[in-house]
Structure 1
Amino acid sequence: MDPTPTLQTVGSWPVADQLSLVFRLWDQILDTGWQPSPDPALLAELDRRLAAHAADPSRALTRDQVVDHVRRNRYCM
């Protein structure tokens, strides 16, 4: 199946509707039992971060600190 005509149609929808479709498709795929396999580079980065945290847990941020950081930077664009 060539998805081009469908993508052209969906591309004319409002962004909120496009995102809703993406999320529903993703949920449908996950409901089949499929799970994405992490990329080896991602696994290596996660291992590196876990080792860094184990070496110095005092550098970890709280959830509130992370949320504040994201909110501050989100509106600086």
Structure 2
Amino acid sequence: MSFEELKAEALKMSPKSRAELAKELLVSLETLSDAEIEQLWIDEAIRRDDEIDRGVAQIRPADEVFNRARNRFK
């Protein structure tokens, strides 16, 4: 299963289930060194920048994202 397929499946989950999955995934990262974590964030930033450059990223203002998140967990 590709990353995109896995992400699509995860996004079909309920918000509560996604939060639990996110927690488990974050806990699994605790075994990584600081340098490994830093490299993962660099890789993610590069990937996101590439998506923006290619026009495939959905860009939203931060206030919209935060408002949507707050409303989702009310």
TM > 0.5 fold call: no
Q: Provide the TM-score with structure 2 as the length reference.
A: 0.41
Higher Cα Rg, which structure: 1
